[in-house]
C-alpha cells in the first residue's frame, strides 16, 4: 500500500449509472457499472480538483486479481484500481 494512501470511508451515488454505493474505505468505483470519479491525487485524499467521471477502459489480471484501468473523461488522466469482491463480474468481463 502506498505511503500516500488515506483510508476514507464514504457512501456515494454513482455519477454514471445512479447506483447507491456503500463504501468500505477502499471503495473507489461503482461495483455495478465500474465507473469512478476523479477526486483523488493519492488514493483517499480527496485533493483532486478535476471531479470528472472516470470510464473503465481496460482490464488486466495481475497476480490473481482483476485490475481496472480508468480514464478521466474530463482531463484524460489514467489510474489503475483493483477490482472489488462485490464488483459486477459481467461488467468486468464484457470489456470494462
Domain locations along the chain? 12-93
Residues above pLDDT 70, as percent of the chain = 91
Residue 29's CB: how many other CB atoms inside 10 A?
24
Looking at per-residue confidence, does 96 or 5 come out higher? 5
**What's the pLDDT band for 74 if we cut at 50, 70, 90?**
very high
Lowest mean pLDDT among 7-11, 35-39, 54-58, 72-76: 7-11
Q: What is the pLDDT of residue 41?
A: 80
Q: Give pLDDT tens digits for 3-41.
A: 676 677 788 899 999 999 988 877 889 999 999 999 888
Amino acid at each position: 500500500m502506498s505511503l500516500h494512501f488515506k483510508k476514507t470511508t464514504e457512501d456515494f451515488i454513482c455519477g454514471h449509472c445512479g447506483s447507491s454505493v456503500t463504501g468500505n474505505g477502499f471503495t473507489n468505483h461503482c461495483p455495478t457499472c465500474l465507473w469512478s470519479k476523479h477526486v483523488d491525487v493519492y488514493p483517499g485524499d480527496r485533493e483532486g480538483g478535476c471531479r470528472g467521471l472516470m470510464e473503465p477502459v481496460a482490464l488486466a489480471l495481475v497476480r490473481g486479481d482483476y485490475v481496472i484501468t480508468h480514464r478521466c473523461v474530463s482531463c484524460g488522466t489514467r489510474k489503475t484500481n483493483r477490482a472489488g469482491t462485490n464488483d459486477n463480474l459481467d461488467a468486468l468481463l464484457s470489456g470494462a
